[in-house]
Amino acid sequence: MSATLEKGVRVLKEVIDAPIASYFNSCVHCGICAEACLFYTETGDPKYTPIHKLEPLRRVYEQEYTLLGRLAKMVGLSKPVTDAELAEWQELVYNSCTLCGRCSVVCPVGNDIVYMVLKLREGMSASGNAPEGIKGAVNRTVTIGSPMGVKLPAVKAQMKHVEEDYGIPIPLDVEGAEYMVMLSSMEIINFPEYLGAIAKIMRQAGKTWTLCSTAFEATNAGYQIGNSDLARVIVSRIVEGAEKLKVKTVISPECGHAYSALRWNGANVVGRPFTFQVKHIVEVLDEFRAQGLLKTEGFETDRLTFHDPCQLARRGGVIQPQRNLMNMVAKNFVEMPDAGFINWCCGGGGGASAIEEGEELRLEAFKKKKSQLDAVKPDRLVTACANCRIVLEEGLEHYQMDIPVVGLTEMIAEHIPEKGA
């Protein structure tokens, strides 16, 4: 057994807990999870059945934590997990799983399959079997500060641009601000409108807010790849920044997994509860709306539909706020079939979009989104996740569908009256 494999198996042994043991013992191989997985429905290949993706974890569980499994291993009836096997499983654990969680919703015996995929990824990562694409993103986040290699000067440059374009100062490192706003690299590089939109919205709401020079990047590739140590480094930066600036709330940007990583996993990786709240920008906007702090004028009149990011809706419980906001500014808002809680993934969540060799499969899986869009034929597609947005744009381009994708926050901001107007 090689050193890295040994480490991987040791990590797998450590992550196995009572829920996982209960889940594996409950599976009756009914295969219903396959029907909920877009990688199976769009390819028809049974190897993409969600529970099958966990086979190495199941074997380690059986061999280490069950009496019969231990006996079988002793007499050589049950073969130990090998490096080659884990390498083979990389495609199943990463490329073809976006942690979308539909399988966890349909399993009749109640298995939370995504919970287990995240744990298996920890062993995969420890044994060196994570995809290069996500590895690179993690390394850049840890060494440079962001998965796309964005450094503070780039953020400052964008702040300056936004200040010039919008005529609103962008606060940096302001102690005692109510909100600390996080960004995703995707927003810094591809969607600068987001920062401008925040500035407009906060000004109208009369709220104090700030960016943080030591913690501006919200995305957490450590969480996606399954490396708790790196996930902790990334979350700790945010915790330190938020505590140093004494903010009440940290706003997770339009990014699904950043929200899951910070809101639901953050306190667990740093090992203590947060002293501040974490909210997704869509939750904050809906609160402003409910409190009368968000006032818009005019309506979009073209046909709009909304793509629910999995981590926000199904895995995060935020479903109605985005609809309230859509209805504030859209006259012709139509829902796709399966929208909301059971929405289909864009195909690139959970780090999958960073895996170059997974592109072909990703585009194949996108046929599901295509069919949802074909059913309602929208003029534009709105979402609240920069990663979904990029993946959707790639898919739409590939299938030659002329549907622009917009972020919800910036669309809302466009309807905020100019100051004094």
Q: What residue ranges bind other proteins (CB under 8 A)?
A: 16-23, 25-32, 34-36, 40, 44, 46-47, 49, 51-52, 65-68, 104-112, 115, 263-268, 271-274, 277-278, 314-317, 338, 342
Least distance from C-beta 130 to other proteins, angstroms?
Answer: 23
Closer residue to other proteins (CB): 278 or 304: 278
- Integer Cα distance of 262 and 268 in angstroms: 9
Are 232 and 270 in contact, with CB atoms under 8 Å apart?
Answer: yes
User: Helix or strand or coil: residue 337?
Assistant: coil
Helical pair 55-65 and 3-15, crossing angle rounded to 10 deg: 80
Helix, strand, coil percent content, the chain, rounded in steps of 5? 55, 5, 35
Are 377 and 305 in contact by the 8 Å Cβ rule? The answer is no
Q: How far is the CB of 148 from other proteins (least distance, A)?
A: 27
Contact 95, 131 (CB under 8 A): yes
The CB-of-24 to other proteins minimum distance in angstroms stands at 9
Q: Min. distance of Cβ 391 from other proteins in angstroms?
A: 22
CB atoms within 10 A of CB 41: 17
Between residues 200 and 368, which has the closer beta carbon with respect to other proteins? 368
* Least spacing, CB of residue 213 vs other proteins, in Å: 26
Q: Are 6 and 126 in contact (CB under 8 A)?
A: no
Comparison of 73 and 415: residue with beta carbon closer to other proteins: 73
d(C-alpha 18, C-alpha 9), whole Å? 18
CA–CA separation, 389 and 374 (whole Å): 18
Nearer to other proteins, 146 or 252 (CB): 252
> Given the complex with other proteins, which of 337 and 404 has the nearer CB atom?
337
CB atoms within 10 A of CB 172: 14
Packing angle, helices 55-65 and 67-74, rounded to 10: 90
Greatest pairwise CA separation for the chain in angstroms? 81
| 42 vs 360: CA distance, rounded Å | 12
By beta-carbon proximity to other proteins, the closer residue of 27 and 406 is: 27
- Least Å distance, CB 25 to other proteins, is 4
Q: CB nearer to other proteins: give 17 or 356.
A: 17
Please, what is the minimum distance in Å from the beta carbon of residue 370 to other proteins?
Answer: 18
> From CA 90, how far away is CA 361, in angstroms rounded?
14
Nearer Cβ to other proteins (107/361): 107
Task: Look at residues 222, 221, 146 and name the one whose alpha carbon lies nearest to residue 190.
Answer: 146
Per the CB < 8 A criterion, the answer to whether 252 and 182 are in contact is yes
CB of 185 to other proteins, least distance (A): 24
Closer to other proteins by CB, 171 or 266: give it.
266
CB atoms closer than 10 angstroms to residue 268:
13
Of 123, 348, 112, 80, residue with least CA distance to 228: 123
Pick 19 or 136: Cβ nearer other proteins: 19
| Interhelix angle 113-126/18-26, nearest 10 degrees | 120
To the nearest whole angstrom, how small is the minimum distance from the Cβ of residue 55 to other proteins? 10
Query: What span, in angstroms and rounded, lies between the C-alpha atoms of 414 and 411?
Result: 5
> Least distance to other proteins from the beta carbon of 112, Å?
4
| Least Cβ distance, residue 95 to other proteins (angstroms) | 18
The answer to whether the CB of 83 falls within 8 A of the CB of 127 is: yes
- Give the residue with the Cβ less far from other proteins, 140 or 368: 368
